[in-house]
């Protein structure tokens, strides 16, 4: 069981260094994680971990998420890499669950995440994953707008059930994908308010399968 109070204490240490020793309160941690103070107080009371916000905070501050949760330092990560998953987090990319979006580039942050923690986020996952943000509501209730999704790029077989990330001429999409009998590719939304889109195989490249996600608050 992860202890949010211990994580909060460590984030306070980081903020204190930035503010040169000033006394740090829970409200400062809430602000650092971009969580409303009342919501944060409730999460602390319930020990409800804001994984998405912590992941983004660690990526932006270049902090080891393993240090926050498990007291594992950089040397330990180097010595025991078989115990960790590597995630390439494209924090600036929002793959669309509704309209056009950006394509992948090389601007990502590398996160090494403890196997135990990663298994709770992405139960079916590879050693190297990529993470991007969801933009739009067309995959609700399965994926919420502003969620972070984890992608296994080795899984590209759309004949297997699941949600995939696809790069198309219109941008990057997160959809259920199937190939029709006529050879056309259908991009299917979980939100019934959105119609399916039909494109030719030449217009799409399957990036990978979504193996886990972290919802926003």
pLDDT in tens, 42-66: 999 999 988 888 888 888 887 777 7
pLDDT of residue 101: 47
CATH class of 71-214: mainly beta
Integer-rounded Cα radius of gyration of the chain: 19
- Where in the chain are the domains? 1-49, 71-214
pLDDT of residue 79: 47
Could you tell me which of 94, 150, 78 has the C-alpha nearest to residue 117? 150
Residues of the chain with pLDDT under 70: 1, 21, 72-84, 93-106, 123-127, 216-217
pLDDT of residue 66: 74
The token pair at 174 is 């997160």
Q: What is the pTM of this model?
A: 0.67
The token pair at 80 is 């025991």
H-type alpha helices, the chain: 4-18, 26-32, 37-46, 51-61, 65-70, 74-79, 115-121
User: Distance of CA 202 to CAs 36, 97, 124, 127, Å?
Assistant: 45, 21, 29, 30
pLDDT of residue 182: 94
| SS3 assignment, position 143 | coil
């Amino acid at each position: 069981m992860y202890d949010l109070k211990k994580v909060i204490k460590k984030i306070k240490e980081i903020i204190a260094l930035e503010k040169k020793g000033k006394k740090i309160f829970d409200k400062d941690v809430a602000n650092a994680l971009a969580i409303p103070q009342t919501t944060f107080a409730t999460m602390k009371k319930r020990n409800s971990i804001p994984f998405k916000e912590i992941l983004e905070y660690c990526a932006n501050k270049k902090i080891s998420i393993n240090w926050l949760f498990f007291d594992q330092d950089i040397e330990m990560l180097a010595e025991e890499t078989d115990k960790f998953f590597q995630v390439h987090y494209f924090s600036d990319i929002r793959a669309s669950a509704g309209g056009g979006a950006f394509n992948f580039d090389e601007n990502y942050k590398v996160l090494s995440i403890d196997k135990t923690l990663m298994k709770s986020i992405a139960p079916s996952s590879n050693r190297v994953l990529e993470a991007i943000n969801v933009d739009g509501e067309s995959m609700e209730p399965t994926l919420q707008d502003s969620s972070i999704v984890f992608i296994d790029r080795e899984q590209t077989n759309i004949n297997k059930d699941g949600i995939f990330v696809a790069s198309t001429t219109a941008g990057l999409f997160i959809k259920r994908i199937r190939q029709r009998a006529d050879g056309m590719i259908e991009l299917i939304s979980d939100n019934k308010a959105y119609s399916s889109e039909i494109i030719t195989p030449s217009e799409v490249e399957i990036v990978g399968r979504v193996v886990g996600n972290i919802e926003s608050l």
